[in-house]
C-alpha cells in the first residue's frame, strides 16, 4: 500500500517538504503502525512524532484508527491554547470562500467562515450576521503582538507566519458554530475569520463574532467559547519570527473521537 502523507508546521520544516510517501506491504495499517514506519523512513521527523496529531480523511484519528488505500492522511502539531467541551456535527465548506450557510432572513443559525490573507472588514462581517431579529453582536478580535515575553519565544516579534490545513480548518469552524448553537440556543449568527500568511505587528489575526436578539442572550460567552475552541480543534499554526530566532507555537490539547464531526 502506498500512503501519501501531508505535513504541516514543525513537521514540514523537519522533513523539508509538505508531502512524503510510504510504501507498506500491508493493505491496511493502524495509525500506530504508520507512525513507526514513518519514523524509520524519515528519521528527521522522529522528535515530533510523540506529540503529533493525525487526521484521516479530515477526521482526528486515534492510535488504532485504520488507514486504507486512498485515505487522505495528514500529520501536524497541536494548535495552541484553549479548552472546551464536546463537539457536534456540521457540514464542510469551500476553502477561503467566505461562505454563508444560510440566508440573512433565515430563522436558523446564520454563519460565515473563512481563511484569508486579507484583513477582515468588520462592518461587512456584521452585515452578514445582521437580520431583523438581531439586536446585538459581540466580537472578539486577536492581533499580532510585538513583544511576547514568554520563555522559549523571541523577546521581540517581527512578524507571524500562519499556516492552515485549509480543507479541514473550515470544517472545524462550522463545527464550532454548531457547538455554540447547541450551548446557546438563542444565538442567531456566528462568524469566524482566521488570517493566514505573513502578518505584521498590529495586524488582526482572528475574529469571532456572535449575534443574538439581545446582549444578554449568551453572545459574550459564546464569542469567548468560539475563540477558545478554535485554538483547540482548528488546524492552524503560527510561527513567531524574531531577529535571531523563529519558532512554531504548539499547544497541548489532543483532540479525540468526540472532537470529530
Is 80 exceeded by the pLDDT of residue 151? no
Mean pLDDT of 144-164: 84
Is 80 exceeded by the pLDDT of residue 216? yes
pTM for this prediction: 0.85
Structural domains of the chain ordered from first start: 2-76 (3.10.20.30), 99-259 (3.90.1170.40)
Q: Residue 213, Cβ neighbours under 10 Å: how many?
A: 16
pLDDT band at 90 (very low <50, low <70, confident <90, very high): very low
Q: What's the first-to-final CA gap in the chain, in angstroms?
A: 27
Is 70 exceeded by the pLDDT of residue 243? yes
CB 158 within 8 A of CB 242: yes
Mean pLDDT of 178-190: 96
How far is residue 71 from each of residues 9, 21, 145, 226, measured CA to CA in Å?
21, 13, 39, 30
pLDDT band at 186 (very low <50, low <70, confident <90, very high): very high
CB 205 within 8 A of CB 237: no
Is 50 exceeded by the pLDDT of residue 141? yes
For residue 8 the three cell numbers come to 504541516
pLDDT band at 118 (very low <50, low <70, confident <90, very high): very high
pLDDT band at 244 (very low <50, low <70, confident <90, very high): confident
Q: What pLDDT shows up at residue 150?
A: 67
Q: What is the pLDDT of residues 41-79, one digit of tens each?
A: 999 999 999 999 999 999 999 999 999 999 999 999 999
Q: What pLDDT shows up at residue 103?
A: 33
- Whole-angstrom distance, CA of residue 114 vs CA of residue 204: 14
Is 60 exceeded by the pLDDT of residue 106? no
For residue 193 the three cell numbers come to 475569520
Q: Under 8 Å CB-to-CB from 10, ≥6 apart: which residues?
A: 48, 77, 237, 248, 250
Q: What pLDDT shows up at residue 19?
A: 97
pLDDT band at 128 (very low <50, low <70, confident <90, very high): very high
Element (H, E) at 170: helix 166-183
Residue 171: closest CA among 257, 59, 60, 91: 91
Which residues in 184-250 belong to E strands, given as ranges?
189-195, 197-200, 204-212, 236-241, 246-248
Mean residue pLDDT of the chain comes to 88
Report phi then psi at 132, rounded to 5: -60, -25
The single-letter DSSP state of residue 259 is G
Q: What pLDDT shows up at residue 110?
A: 93
Using left for φ > 0, alpha for ψ between -120 and 50, and beta otherwise, residue 70 falls in left
The β-bridge partners of 248 are 239
- Whole-angstrom distance, CA of residue 13 vs CA of residue 69: 26
The β-bridge partners of 197 are 162
Cα diameter, the chain: 60
Is 60 exceeded by the pLDDT of residue 219? yes
Q: What pLDDT shows up at residue 82?
A: 36
Amino acid at each position: 500500500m502506498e500512503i501519501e502523507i501531508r505535513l504541516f508546521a514543525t513537521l514540514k520544516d523537519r522533513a523539508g517538504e509538505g508531502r512524503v510517501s510510504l510504501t507498506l506491504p500491508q493493505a491496511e495499517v493502524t495509525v500506530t503502525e504508520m507512525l513507526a514506519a514513518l519514523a524509520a523512513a524519515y528519521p528527521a521527523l522522529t522528535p515530533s512524532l510523540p506529540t503529533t496529531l493525525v487526521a484521516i480523511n479530515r477526521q482526528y484519528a486515534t492510535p488504532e484508527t485504520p488507514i486504507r488505500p486512498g485515505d487522505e492522511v495528514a500529520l501536524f502539531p497541536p494548535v495552541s491554547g484553549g479548552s472546551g467541551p464536546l463537539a457536534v456535527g456540521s457540514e464542510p465548506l469551500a476553502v477561503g470562500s467566505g461562505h454563508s450557510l444560510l440566508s440573512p432572513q433565515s430563522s436558523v443559525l446564520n454563519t460565515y467562515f473563512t481563511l484569508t490573507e486579507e484583513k477582515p472588514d468588520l462592518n461587512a462581517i456584521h452585515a452578514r450576521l445582521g437580520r431583523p431579529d438581531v439586536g446585538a453582536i459581540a466580537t472578539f478580535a486577536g492581533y499580532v503582538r510585538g513583544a511576547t515575553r514568554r520563555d522559549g519565544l523571541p523577546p521581540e516579534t517581527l512578524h507571524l507566519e500562519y499556516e492552515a490545513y485549509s480543507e479541514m480548518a473550515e470544517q472545524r469552524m462550522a463545527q464550532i458554530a454548531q457547538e455554540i448553537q447547541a450551548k446557546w440556543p438563542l444565538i442567531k449568527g456566528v462568524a469566524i475569520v482566521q488570517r493566514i500568511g505573513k502578518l505584521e505587528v498590529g495586524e488582526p489575526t482572528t475574529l469571532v463574532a456572535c449575534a443574538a436578539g439581545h446582549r444578554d442572550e449568551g453572545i459574550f460567552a459564546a464569542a469567548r467559547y468560539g475563540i477558545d475552541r478554535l485554538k483547540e480543534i482548528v488546524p492552524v499554526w503560527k510561527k513567531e519570527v524574531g531577529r535571531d530566532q523563529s519558532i512554531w507555537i504548539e499547544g497541548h490539547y489532543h483532540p479525540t473521537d468526540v472532537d470529530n464531526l
